[in-house]
Amino acid sequence: MSRSKRHDSTGDRISALPDELLHHIMSFLTPRETVQTCVLSRRWQTTWVSARCLIIDSDQFSILWELKTFLDKLLLDRGCTSLDKFWLRIIFGNVYPDNIMDYFQIRLWVCHALRCNTQRLTVTTSDNRSVACLGFEDLVIDMPNLVSLDIKEIPVRNPYFLNLSSLDTASVCLTTVSFKDSDVDCNVLSALSNATSLRSLSLTVHDEVAIKVVGRDVLRCGTFSNLKSLSLGEWCFGLWLQRATPLAPSFA
């Protein structure tokens, strides 16, 4: 076999793959591993910037400051390149005892993902500290191309949905710390009822304040005409017992 043929048969075949396949490979990597691919070859130096999947877990970092520094730099370098999936999980409390501004940093990251027209958004946080001193702002989501939404226990952010017309699956968990008080306006159910493509819905509501807030929204809720899977929990049954007439939305 000639030297040129031996070189062709042992060359960098992965780098010769189209960007779509390289991005698919990167979807199985952590963000750090994705960035580290830049040293593989000249082709990979900038490929990671346009990765379509970002999965960020605080367990991958020893301290939260390290995560914040890395993610800020990562999002700045990639700009507003489109995202297929943005998955963020941050656990506060004893492991990451940072200051209360951490929540506002999360908001910036989520807003960046929304600007990148992500199709699948998952955000999970948890905290053991008091949130009474934190400021409350709406987490506005206006994503007509979003097909999957998963939000769990996000403190100090009242979810407010605008256009979610392409949504296929939705999972939302609301607690007392999701709202400033029981007078907050919440449109989670009524907005999701306008998503005509929605086939799977899970809405978990904990604590009296959250139940009161969502209970008012139930009255404005339309018909879920294409729903195939529904999980609401005991909070909805509790509302039914408190009223003379059922408040459950209509599921055709």
pLDDT of residue 92: 60
Nearest to 228 by CA among 168, 165, 166: 168
Instruction: Quote the pTM value.
Output: 0.58
Residues 6+ apart with CB under 8 A from 27: 51, 52, 53, 55, 85
Residues of the chain with pLDDT under 50: 1-8, 94-101, 128-136, 241-252
pLDDT of residue 199: 92
pLDDT of residue 42: 81
Q: Please state the separation of Cα 98 from the chain's center in Å.
A: 22
CA torsion through residues 44, 50, 53, 59, sign:
positive
DSSP state of 9: H
DSSP state of 139: E
- Residue 109 identity (one-letter amino acid): W
pLDDT of residue 169: 92
pLDDT of residue 200: 93
- 3-state SS, residue 135: coil
- Residue 209 identity (one-letter amino acid): V
pLDDT of residue 168: 93
Helices (H), 138-233: 188-192, 208-218
H helix or E strand, kind and range, residue 248: none
* Cβ atoms of 244 and 211 closer than 8 Å: no
